Amino acid sequence: MPDFRTLLKHDSDAILEEFIDKYTACVNTYDDQRVLTMVGFYQNILKAFVDLDQKKVLKLFEELAAFKISLNIPYIIMINEVFGLQNILISKIANHHMGSDVLDLLSTFKEIGNQIAFVYLQEYIKKLFSVNNVRINSLSDLVKKNLIIQYESHLLWLSGLAQSIQEQNKENFPQLDDTLCDFGIWLYKDAKQLIQNNSEYKTIETLHNNLHLFATKIYANIDSAEYHVLITYLEKCEMLSLSIGTELALIDNILMNKEITKDSLTGALNRQALRNVFENQYELSLATNNSFILAMCDLDLFKDVNDNHGHIAGDRMLTLFVDVVKKNIRTSDIIVRYGGEEFVIILPAIARKKGFEILENIRKEFQNTILEFEGKKIQTTVSIGMMGIKPEHSYHHTFVDEYIMIADQKLYMAKENGRNRIEIY
């Protein structure tokens, strides 16, 4: 009966081929050189297993983890590859009845997994410090500051949590009691009067409570050096923190919609507000790691409505369109009258697919809406140019004009392609 080293040495090419085929589906997204680099790592890893050089195995996996991080490969995909290799090796051993080697291999892979988690954790903390600074700066640059300004205290709290993990230090650990951190003190005092919607308040309260529960789990495990546990819980904490910021940003948009001067005819926001509204939305999205949708809308053949039925009928058609839009969007979404029969719609904290669905519902409903005026039934349609925006850099004053131009080009394409349609950038 062959021993583990002999088996592995004899079957290493077949093992590598099976591993690449089953567990590295993302390999096709790399260029040839990156594929060769990754395969080279695993060839060396298998050789180190043959040589029973555990220190070299760990070192190679550390270097592989750093390589994966440089390619922006998530931790979960990396660790899935590792356990894929483990499963293949255990299967080979089990087929040759090498029971004692299975336990040794499991022990080795547990150490490998934790070492990879450590590498990813350190890089994750480094990035978290950086992006949190960007988020805090975004909040300070906001044109309009309402509830979202309270979010800054939890971004600072999150950075403190990451630092405690990095230093494995319980002494300066951030406040664990969700009622005693700066955000919690505000939430259970002033926020109750400011957040009128009880459902929205409860959502924020639940997110905040869960955030502190995960922080408590981190505190309990910080001395254990179980890095896979720490990275998982820290990721949960960041996700919950961003969700709190998103909820506050949506409430702020509702307040802004109430405060900003409206177009007297349609009830949409005035064009004069667009620059500040867009900048605010960009900064909020950057601070909360969200995407948002910008859409340019133009009523089709609107001149014919005015020419054939008069300007009063045209005015009512504009109002009718805004009514249809408001029926299909959230109270936190924004519609601005850009000029004449043109409107801008901004949908915060939303994915492109969902944003398209909302705009498509508006388009369909408006084409089926009839304006009854002086005994006549009048109908028209709307063309829309849409783009999804995921902020990655600090706001620049030219952004609003640049993005409006792109959305407007898509609107022009919708007109050229037959009207009554949506074109997406």
Q: Which two tokens stand for residue 333?
A: 């979404």
| Residue pair 362/325 in contact by the 8 Å Cβ criterion | yes
Burial environment of residue 330 by CB neighbours within 10 A (0 to 12, 13 to 18, 19 or more): middle
Alpha-carbon gap, residue 26 to 140, rounded angstroms: 39
Residue 167 three-state SS? helix
Coil, strand, or helix at residue 345?
Answer: strand
Residue whose token pair is 């089709």: 300
DSSP state letter for 225: T
Predicted pLDDT at 72: 86
* 362 residue type, one letter: I
| 191 C-beta neighbours (distance < 10 Å), count | 19
Whether the CB-CB separation of 257 and 331 falls below 8 Å is answered with yes
Residues 6+ apart with CB under 8 A from 354: none
- Measured CA distances, 284 to 32, 158, 191, 199, 290 (Å): 39, 18, 19, 22, 8
In three-state form (DSSP H/G/I as H, E/B as E, the rest C), the secondary structure along 100-142 is HHHHHHHHHHHHHHHHHHHHHHHHHHHHHHHHHHHHHHHHHCC
Does the CA dihedral 395-397-398-399 come out positive or negative?
positive
Residue 380's contacts (CB-CB under 8 Å, 6 or more residues apart) are 299, 300, 301, 302, 304, 305, 317
Residues 6+ apart with CB under 8 A from 372: 378
Residue 334 bridge partners (DSSP): 346
Residue 164 has, within 13 A of its CA and on its CB side, a CA count of: 24
DSSP secondary-structure letter at 361? H
- On whether the CB atoms of residues 385 and 294 are closer than 8 A, the answer is no
Instruction: State residue 1's pLDDT score.
Output: 42
The confidence score (pLDDT) of residue 101 equals: 65
Sequential pLDDT tens for the chain (425 residues): 456 677 777 788 888 888 887 766 555 555 567 778 888 888 899 888 888 788 999 999 999 999 999 988 889 889 988 988 888 888 877 766 555 567 778 888 999 999 999 999 999 999 999 999 999 998 888 877 888 989 999 899 999 999 999 999 899 999 999 999 999 999 999 998 888 889 999 999 999 999 999 999 999 999 887 899 999 999 999 999 999 999 999 999 988 888 888 899 999 999 999 999 999 999 999 999 999 999 999 999 999 999 999 999 999 999 999 999 999 999 999 999 999 999 999 999 999 999 999 999 999 999 999 999 989 999 999 999 999 999 988 888 899 999 999 999 999 999 999 999 999 99
Handedness of CA 98, 104, 106, 112 (dihedral sign): negative
> Would you call 401 exposed, middle or buried from its count of C-beta atoms within 10 A (0-12, 13-18, 19+)?
exposed
d(CA 249, CA 289): 11
How many angstroms separate the Cα of 339 from the Cα of each of 271, 272, 276, 294? 7, 10, 17, 16
pLDDT value, residue 2: 53
What lies within 8 Å, CB to CB, of 58 at 6+ separation is: 111, 112, 115
Amino acid at 19: F
Residues in the chain: 425
> How far apart are alpha carbons 230 and 215 in whole angstroms?
10
Three-state DSSP at 328 gives: helix
